[in-house]
Structure 1
Amino acid sequence: MPQPDTNCCESWFPGRFHATAARPHRPPRAAPANDNDNDNDNDNDNEEPRMAISTTTHLNFRGDARAALEFYRSVFGGDLTAVAYGDLGMPKDLPDADKVVFGQVTADNGFRIMAYDVPGGAPAAAAPTATTRDNGMTLTGERFFVSVRGDSADAVGALWDRLADGAQVVEKYGPSPWTPGFGMLTDRFGVTWILDVAAHAG
Protein backbone atom coordinates (compact mmCIF):
# COMPACT_ATOMS: atom_id res chain seq x y z
CA MET A 1 0.00 0.00 0.00
CA PRO A 2 1.59 3.34 -1.01
CA GLN A 3 2.42 5.74 1.80
CA PRO A 4 1.98 9.51 1.38
CA ASP A 5 5.03 11.68 1.80
CA THR A 6 4.42 13.67 5.00
CA ASN A 7 6.91 16.45 4.25
CA CYS A 8 5.27 19.87 3.99
CA CYS A 9 5.38 21.41 0.54
CA GLU A 10 6.19 24.99 -0.29
CA SER A 11 3.86 26.98 -2.51
CA TRP A 12 4.70 26.27 -6.12
CA PHE A 13 3.06 29.39 -7.44
CA PRO A 14 3.47 32.33 -5.01
CA GLY A 15 0.56 34.73 -5.15
CA ARG A 16 -1.76 32.12 -6.62
CA PHE A 17 -2.10 29.74 -3.71
CA HIS A 18 -1.01 31.04 -0.34
CA ALA A 19 -1.74 30.73 3.36
CA THR A 20 -2.06 33.46 5.93
CA ALA A 21 0.09 32.95 9.00
CA ALA A 22 -1.28 33.47 12.49
CA ARG A 23 -0.01 36.32 14.65
CA PRO A 24 2.58 35.38 17.23
CA HIS A 25 1.21 34.97 20.74
CA ARG A 26 1.30 38.21 22.70
CA PRO A 27 0.96 38.12 26.51
CA PRO A 28 -1.96 40.06 28.00
CA ARG A 29 -1.31 43.74 28.48
CA ALA A 30 -1.19 44.91 32.10
CA ALA A 31 -3.96 47.31 33.12
CA PRO A 32 -2.79 50.93 33.07
CA ALA A 33 -2.12 52.48 36.46
CA ASN A 34 -3.72 55.74 35.32
CA ASP A 35 -6.73 56.01 33.01
CA ASN A 36 -5.23 59.19 31.58
CA ASP A 37 -1.98 57.49 30.58
CA ASN A 38 -1.53 58.68 26.97
CA ASP A 39 1.14 56.10 26.20
CA ASN A 40 -1.22 53.22 26.95
CA ASP A 41 -3.94 54.90 24.89
CA ASN A 42 -1.59 55.05 21.93
CA ASP A 43 -0.63 51.39 22.37
CA ASN A 44 -4.29 50.40 22.27
CA ASP A 45 -4.79 52.41 19.09
CA ASN A 46 -2.00 50.41 17.43
CA GLU A 47 -3.31 47.01 18.52
CA GLU A 48 -3.75 44.71 15.50
CA PRO A 49 -7.25 43.29 14.99
CA ARG A 50 -7.69 39.61 15.75
CA MET A 51 -8.25 37.31 12.79
CA ALA A 52 -9.80 33.89 12.33
CA ILE A 53 -7.54 31.07 11.14
CA SER A 54 -8.20 27.53 9.95
CA THR A 55 -6.12 24.37 9.94
CA THR A 56 -6.41 21.85 7.11
CA THR A 57 -4.63 18.52 6.69
CA HIS A 58 -2.46 18.57 3.54
CA LEU A 59 -1.59 15.13 2.17
CA ASN A 60 1.38 14.64 -0.13
CA PHE A 61 1.19 11.81 -2.67
CA ARG A 62 3.32 10.30 -5.42
CA GLY A 63 0.90 10.33 -8.33
CA ASP A 64 -2.23 9.27 -6.41
CA ALA A 65 -3.55 12.67 -5.32
CA ARG A 66 -6.41 12.85 -7.83
CA ALA A 67 -7.60 9.32 -7.10
CA ALA A 68 -7.34 9.94 -3.35
CA LEU A 69 -9.33 13.18 -3.55
CA GLU A 70 -12.02 11.52 -5.65
CA PHE A 71 -12.26 8.72 -3.09
CA TYR A 72 -12.51 11.14 -0.16
CA ARG A 73 -15.27 13.06 -1.95
CA SER A 74 -17.17 9.78 -2.41
CA VAL A 75 -16.85 9.15 1.33
CA PHE A 76 -17.47 12.60 2.82
CA GLY A 77 -19.27 14.43 -0.01
CA GLY A 78 -18.49 18.00 -1.01
CA ASP A 79 -16.75 19.68 -3.92
CA LEU A 80 -13.44 18.61 -5.43
CA THR A 81 -10.87 20.99 -6.90
CA ALA A 82 -7.85 19.56 -8.71
CA VAL A 83 -5.37 21.69 -10.66
CA ALA A 84 -2.63 19.94 -12.62
CA TYR A 85 0.92 21.18 -13.15
CA GLY A 86 0.11 21.40 -16.85
CA ASP A 87 -2.84 23.70 -16.15
CA LEU A 88 -0.41 26.26 -14.78
CA GLY A 89 2.09 26.24 -17.58
CA MET A 90 4.16 23.07 -17.29
CA PRO A 91 4.76 21.64 -20.79
CA LYS A 92 2.23 18.88 -21.44
CA ASP A 93 4.90 16.39 -22.53
CA LEU A 94 6.67 16.38 -19.15
CA PRO A 95 5.95 13.41 -16.82
CA ASP A 96 4.45 15.56 -14.04
CA ALA A 97 2.13 17.62 -16.26
CA ASP A 98 -0.98 15.57 -15.42
CA LYS A 99 -0.21 15.33 -11.70
CA VAL A 100 -2.02 17.48 -9.15
CA VAL A 101 -0.24 20.62 -7.95
CA PHE A 102 -3.22 21.87 -5.93
CA GLY A 103 -6.17 19.80 -4.81
CA GLN A 104 -8.82 19.89 -2.13
CA VAL A 105 -12.20 18.55 -1.07
CA THR A 106 -14.51 20.80 0.93
CA ALA A 107 -17.95 19.86 2.20
CA ASP A 108 -20.78 21.71 3.93
CA ASN A 109 -20.56 19.28 6.86
CA GLY A 110 -17.17 20.76 7.81
CA PHE A 111 -14.93 18.19 6.12
CA ARG A 112 -11.91 19.69 4.38
CA ILE A 113 -8.71 18.13 3.13
CA MET A 114 -5.96 19.18 0.72
CA ALA A 115 -3.54 17.10 -1.36
CA TYR A 116 -0.98 17.33 -4.12
CA ASP A 117 1.52 15.13 -5.98
CA VAL A 118 5.16 15.55 -5.05
CA PRO A 119 7.09 16.28 -8.28
CA GLY A 120 9.27 13.56 -9.70
CA GLY A 121 12.59 15.17 -8.76
CA ALA A 122 11.84 15.19 -5.02
CA PRO A 123 13.72 12.92 -2.58
CA ALA A 124 12.37 9.41 -2.13
CA ALA A 125 9.56 8.94 0.38
CA ALA A 126 10.30 7.35 3.74
CA ALA A 127 9.49 3.65 4.10
CA PRO A 128 5.90 3.10 5.34
CA THR A 129 5.32 1.98 8.91
CA ALA A 130 2.32 0.08 10.22
CA THR A 131 0.00 1.38 12.93
CA THR A 132 -1.46 -1.13 15.40
CA ARG A 133 -3.53 -1.17 18.59
CA ASP A 134 -2.47 -3.28 21.56
CA ASN A 135 -4.19 -3.36 24.97
CA GLY A 136 -5.92 -0.07 24.25
CA MET A 137 -2.73 1.69 23.16
CA THR A 138 -1.86 2.93 19.68
CA LEU A 139 1.58 1.85 18.44
CA THR A 140 2.87 3.70 15.40
CA GLY A 141 5.85 5.19 13.63
CA GLU A 142 3.68 7.65 11.71
CA ARG A 143 3.91 11.38 12.38
CA PHE A 144 0.21 12.12 12.03
CA PHE A 145 -3.30 10.69 11.78
CA VAL A 146 -6.35 12.36 10.24
CA SER A 147 -9.14 12.71 12.81
CA VAL A 148 -12.83 12.96 11.89
CA ARG A 149 -15.40 13.47 14.67
CA GLY A 150 -19.17 13.69 14.51
CA ASP A 151 -22.14 13.85 16.86
CA SER A 152 -23.98 10.72 15.72
CA ALA A 153 -22.65 7.17 16.14
CA ASP A 154 -24.75 6.01 13.19
CA ALA A 155 -23.62 8.83 10.89
CA VAL A 156 -19.94 8.36 11.76
CA GLY A 157 -20.42 4.61 11.29
CA ALA A 158 -21.72 5.23 7.76
CA LEU A 159 -18.58 7.26 6.97
CA TRP A 160 -16.49 4.44 8.41
CA ASP A 161 -18.13 1.86 6.15
CA ARG A 162 -17.30 3.90 3.04
CA LEU A 163 -13.76 4.82 4.12
CA ALA A 164 -12.99 1.20 5.06
CA ASP A 165 -13.35 0.04 1.45
CA GLY A 166 -9.91 -1.31 0.57
CA ALA A 167 -8.45 -0.23 3.94
CA GLN A 168 -6.42 -2.02 6.58
CA VAL A 169 -8.46 -1.85 9.79
CA VAL A 170 -6.40 -0.96 12.86
CA GLU A 171 -9.33 -1.10 15.29
CA LYS A 172 -12.86 -1.87 14.17
CA TYR A 173 -15.39 0.91 14.62
CA GLY A 174 -17.64 0.48 17.64
CA PRO A 175 -18.39 1.64 21.20
CA SER A 176 -15.44 2.27 23.51
CA PRO A 177 -15.14 3.20 27.21
CA TRP A 178 -14.82 6.92 26.35
CA THR A 179 -17.11 7.38 23.33
CA PRO A 180 -20.16 5.83 21.65
CA GLY A 181 -18.06 5.17 18.54
CA PHE A 182 -14.34 4.85 17.78
CA GLY A 183 -12.29 3.22 15.03
CA MET A 184 -8.92 3.45 13.29
CA LEU A 185 -7.91 2.38 9.81
CA THR A 186 -5.24 2.93 7.19
CA ASP A 187 -6.98 3.64 3.91
CA ARG A 188 -6.14 2.33 0.46
CA PHE A 189 -3.76 5.28 -0.09
CA GLY A 190 -1.75 4.73 3.09
CA VAL A 191 -3.37 7.46 5.21
CA THR A 192 -4.35 6.51 8.76
CA TRP A 193 -7.66 7.88 10.04
CA ILE A 194 -9.36 8.07 13.42
CA LEU A 195 -13.15 8.25 13.29
CA ASP A 196 -14.98 8.85 16.53
CA VAL A 197 -18.08 10.32 18.12
CA ALA A 198 -18.07 13.32 20.45
CA ALA A 199 -18.20 11.98 24.00
CA HIS A 200 -21.44 13.80 24.86
CA ALA A 201 -23.26 12.31 21.86
CA GLY A 202 -25.25 9.10 21.76
Structure 2
Amino acid sequence: MDDAWIGELAASAWLVPVLFALVVGDAFLVVLPSETAVVALAALSATTGSPSLIAIVPVAAVGAAVGDGLCYLIGRRVGLDRWKWQRTSRIGAAITRVRAAVHRRTAVLVFTARYVPFARIAVNLAAGAGRVPLRKYLPLSIAAGIAWAGFNVAIGAIVGELLSDSPLVAIAISVPVAIVLGLVVDRVVAGLDARRASRPAGSAGTEPGPLTPPSDRR
Protein backbone atom coordinates (compact mmCIF):
# COMPACT_ATOMS: atom_id res chain seq x y z
CA MET A 1 0.00 0.00 0.00
CA ASP A 2 2.69 2.42 -1.05
CA ASP A 3 1.81 5.96 -1.98
CA ALA A 4 2.73 7.44 -5.35
CA TRP A 5 5.22 9.74 -3.67
CA ILE A 6 7.72 6.92 -3.19
CA GLY A 7 8.06 6.50 -6.95
CA GLU A 8 8.49 10.24 -7.42
CA LEU A 9 11.09 10.32 -4.69
CA ALA A 10 13.02 7.44 -6.26
CA ALA A 11 13.14 9.25 -9.60
CA SER A 12 14.34 12.56 -8.12
CA ALA A 13 17.55 13.82 -9.68
CA TRP A 14 18.89 15.10 -6.35
CA LEU A 15 18.95 11.75 -4.54
CA VAL A 16 22.36 10.62 -5.79
CA PRO A 17 24.10 13.99 -5.22
CA VAL A 18 22.65 14.10 -1.70
CA LEU A 19 23.94 10.58 -1.12
CA PHE A 20 27.43 11.67 -2.14
CA ALA A 21 27.29 14.65 0.24
CA LEU A 22 26.08 12.44 3.11
CA VAL A 23 28.86 9.91 2.66
CA VAL A 24 31.55 12.60 2.45
CA GLY A 25 30.11 14.47 5.44
CA ASP A 26 29.91 11.31 7.51
CA ALA A 27 33.71 11.32 7.59
CA PHE A 28 33.46 14.33 9.92
CA LEU A 29 29.93 14.25 11.37
CA VAL A 30 29.05 10.83 12.72
CA VAL A 31 25.38 11.79 13.09
CA LEU A 32 24.92 11.71 9.31
CA PRO A 33 23.19 8.44 8.31
CA SER A 34 25.30 7.63 5.24
CA GLU A 35 25.10 3.86 5.67
CA THR A 36 21.34 4.00 6.12
CA ALA A 37 21.04 6.15 3.00
CA VAL A 38 23.07 3.72 0.87
CA VAL A 39 21.05 0.70 1.98
CA ALA A 40 17.72 2.52 1.64
CA LEU A 41 18.48 3.75 -1.87
CA ALA A 42 19.58 0.28 -2.93
CA ALA A 43 16.30 -1.17 -1.63
CA LEU A 44 14.41 1.62 -3.37
CA SER A 45 16.22 0.88 -6.60
CA ALA A 46 15.39 -2.81 -6.42
CA THR A 47 11.70 -2.13 -5.80
CA THR A 48 11.07 0.83 -8.11
CA GLY A 49 13.92 0.77 -10.63
CA SER A 50 15.26 4.16 -9.46
CA PRO A 51 17.80 5.41 -8.67
CA SER A 52 20.15 3.18 -10.66
CA LEU A 53 22.27 0.70 -8.74
CA ILE A 54 25.00 1.41 -11.29
CA ALA A 55 25.11 4.96 -9.92
CA ILE A 56 24.74 4.19 -6.22
CA VAL A 57 27.80 1.96 -5.85
CA PRO A 58 30.43 4.25 -7.40
CA VAL A 59 28.94 7.41 -5.88
CA ALA A 60 28.96 5.87 -2.40
CA ALA A 61 32.46 4.45 -2.88
CA VAL A 62 33.90 7.70 -4.23
CA GLY A 63 32.17 9.69 -1.48
CA ALA A 64 33.71 7.41 1.13
CA ALA A 65 37.20 7.76 -0.35
CA VAL A 66 36.86 11.55 -0.67
CA GLY A 67 35.66 11.94 2.91
CA ASP A 68 38.42 9.70 4.23
CA GLY A 69 41.03 11.53 2.15
CA LEU A 70 39.95 14.93 3.43
CA CYS A 71 40.11 13.65 6.98
CA TYR A 72 43.57 12.21 6.32
CA LEU A 73 44.75 15.58 4.99
CA ILE A 74 43.38 17.39 8.04
CA GLY A 75 45.25 14.99 10.31
CA ARG A 76 48.41 15.48 8.31
CA ARG A 77 48.09 19.25 8.46
CA VAL A 78 46.92 19.91 12.02
CA GLY A 79 47.84 16.73 13.92
CA LEU A 80 45.82 15.10 16.71
CA ASP A 81 46.07 17.59 19.57
CA ARG A 82 45.10 21.01 18.26
CA TRP A 83 41.39 20.90 19.10
CA LYS A 84 39.82 19.93 22.41
CA TRP A 85 37.46 17.38 20.86
CA GLN A 86 40.51 15.48 19.58
CA ARG A 87 41.57 14.90 23.18
CA THR A 88 38.40 14.69 25.26
CA SER A 89 35.47 13.50 23.14
CA ARG A 90 34.59 9.98 22.09
CA ILE A 91 36.55 10.70 18.93
CA GLY A 92 39.49 11.55 21.16
CA ALA A 93 39.16 8.20 22.92
CA ALA A 94 39.11 6.42 19.56
CA ILE A 95 42.16 8.39 18.40
CA THR A 96 44.04 7.28 21.52
CA ARG A 97 43.26 3.67 20.74
CA VAL A 98 44.41 3.69 17.13
CA ARG A 99 47.26 6.20 16.92
CA ALA A 100 49.92 3.77 18.15
CA ALA A 101 48.87 1.01 15.75
CA VAL A 102 48.01 2.93 12.59
CA HIS A 103 51.30 2.02 10.91
CA ARG A 104 51.35 -1.64 11.93
CA ARG A 105 47.68 -2.34 11.19
CA THR A 106 46.74 0.21 8.55
CA ALA A 107 44.68 -2.14 6.37
CA VAL A 108 42.68 -3.68 9.23
CA LEU A 109 41.94 -0.31 10.81
CA VAL A 110 40.93 1.41 7.55
CA PHE A 111 38.59 -1.44 6.57
CA THR A 112 37.10 -1.95 10.04
CA ALA A 113 36.58 1.75 10.71
CA ARG A 114 34.12 2.01 7.85
CA TYR A 115 31.59 0.08 9.95
CA VAL A 116 32.18 1.72 13.34
CA PRO A 117 31.01 5.23 14.34
CA PHE A 118 33.75 7.58 15.56
CA ALA A 119 36.40 5.12 14.33
CA ARG A 120 36.29 6.39 10.75
CA ILE A 121 37.37 9.91 11.66
CA ALA A 122 39.84 8.66 14.30
CA VAL A 123 41.62 6.25 11.96
CA ASN A 124 41.85 8.71 9.09
CA LEU A 125 43.07 11.56 11.30
CA ALA A 126 45.62 9.24 12.89
CA ALA A 127 46.79 7.98 9.49
CA GLY A 128 47.37 11.54 8.32
CA ALA A 129 49.00 12.74 11.52
CA GLY A 130 51.15 9.61 11.65
CA ARG A 131 52.36 10.25 8.10
CA VAL A 132 51.18 6.89 6.78
CA PRO A 133 52.45 7.10 3.17
CA LEU A 134 49.73 8.23 0.78
CA ARG A 135 50.74 5.51 -1.69
CA LYS A 136 49.85 2.98 1.02
CA TYR A 137 46.84 4.73 2.52
CA LEU A 138 44.99 5.80 -0.64
CA PRO A 139 44.58 2.34 -2.25
CA LEU A 140 43.37 0.97 1.09
CA SER A 141 40.87 3.80 1.49
CA ILE A 142 39.52 3.29 -2.04
CA ALA A 143 39.27 -0.48 -1.58
CA ALA A 144 37.53 -0.04 1.79
CA GLY A 145 35.07 2.42 0.25
CA ILE A 146 34.25 0.04 -2.60
CA ALA A 147 33.80 -2.89 -0.21
CA TRP A 148 31.59 -0.84 2.12
CA ALA A 149 29.45 0.49 -0.72
CA GLY A 150 29.10 -2.92 -2.35
CA PHE A 151 28.22 -4.57 0.96
CA ASN A 152 25.44 -2.14 1.81
CA VAL A 153 24.07 -1.92 -1.73
CA ALA A 154 23.96 -5.73 -1.97
CA ILE A 155 21.93 -6.00 1.24
CA GLY A 156 19.48 -3.31 0.18
CA ALA A 157 19.11 -4.80 -3.30
CA ILE A 158 18.58 -8.36 -2.05
CA VAL A 159 15.92 -7.34 0.46
CA GLY A 160 14.34 -5.09 -2.16
CA GLU A 161 14.12 -7.97 -4.63
CA LEU A 162 12.45 -10.15 -2.03
CA LEU A 163 9.93 -7.42 -1.22
CA SER A 164 9.61 -5.88 -4.67
CA ASP A 165 5.97 -4.89 -4.15
CA SER A 166 6.60 -3.02 -0.90
CA PRO A 167 9.35 -0.37 -1.18
CA LEU A 168 8.82 1.08 2.29
CA VAL A 169 8.83 -2.35 3.94
CA ALA A 170 11.98 -3.27 2.01
CA ILE A 171 13.71 -0.13 3.29
CA ALA A 172 12.51 -0.71 6.85
CA ILE A 173 13.86 -4.27 6.86
CA SER A 174 17.07 -3.81 4.88
CA VAL A 175 18.52 -1.08 7.11
CA PRO A 176 18.56 -3.08 10.39
CA VAL A 177 19.72 -6.17 8.48
CA ALA A 178 22.69 -4.19 7.14
CA ILE A 179 23.48 -2.86 10.62
CA VAL A 180 23.44 -6.31 12.19
CA LEU A 181 25.54 -7.86 9.43
CA GLY A 182 27.96 -4.95 9.62
CA LEU A 183 28.38 -5.56 13.34
CA VAL A 184 29.05 -9.24 12.64
CA VAL A 185 31.72 -8.31 10.09
CA ASP A 186 33.29 -5.87 12.54
CA ARG A 187 33.35 -8.39 15.39
CA VAL A 188 34.77 -11.17 13.20
CA VAL A 189 37.52 -8.93 11.81
CA ALA A 190 38.35 -7.57 15.27
CA GLY A 191 38.43 -11.09 16.73
CA LEU A 192 40.70 -12.47 14.03
CA ASP A 193 43.00 -9.48 14.27
CA ALA A 194 43.17 -9.74 18.07
CA ARG A 195 44.16 -13.39 17.78
CA ARG A 196 46.85 -12.55 15.26
CA ALA A 197 48.13 -9.65 17.36
CA SER A 198 48.34 -11.78 20.52
CA ARG A 199 50.80 -14.22 19.02
CA PRO A 200 54.01 -12.13 19.20
CA ALA A 201 55.34 -12.05 22.75
CA GLY A 202 54.64 -8.82 24.59
CA SER A 203 52.61 -7.24 21.81
CA ALA A 204 49.12 -7.69 23.19
CA GLY A 205 49.31 -4.64 25.41
CA THR A 206 50.00 -2.29 22.51
CA GLU A 207 47.21 -3.37 20.22
CA PRO A 208 43.84 -1.59 20.44
CA GLY A 209 40.68 -3.58 20.97
CA PRO A 210 37.32 -2.83 19.36
CA LEU A 211 37.22 0.81 18.38
CA THR A 212 33.78 1.77 19.71
CA PRO A 213 30.76 0.04 21.25
CA PRO A 214 28.56 -1.59 18.58
CA SER A 215 25.42 0.01 20.02
CA ASP A 216 26.39 3.32 18.38
CA ARG A 217 25.96 2.10 14.82
CA ARG A 218 23.26 3.75 12.73
| Same fold? TM cut 0.5 | no
TM range (shorter): under 0.3
Name the structure with the higher helix share: 2
- Report the TM-score when normalising by structure 2: 0.21
Name the structure with the higher strand share: 1
Larger RCO (alpha carbons 8 Å, 6+ apart): 2
- Report the TM-score when normalising by structure 1: 0.23
The structure whose Rg is larger is 1
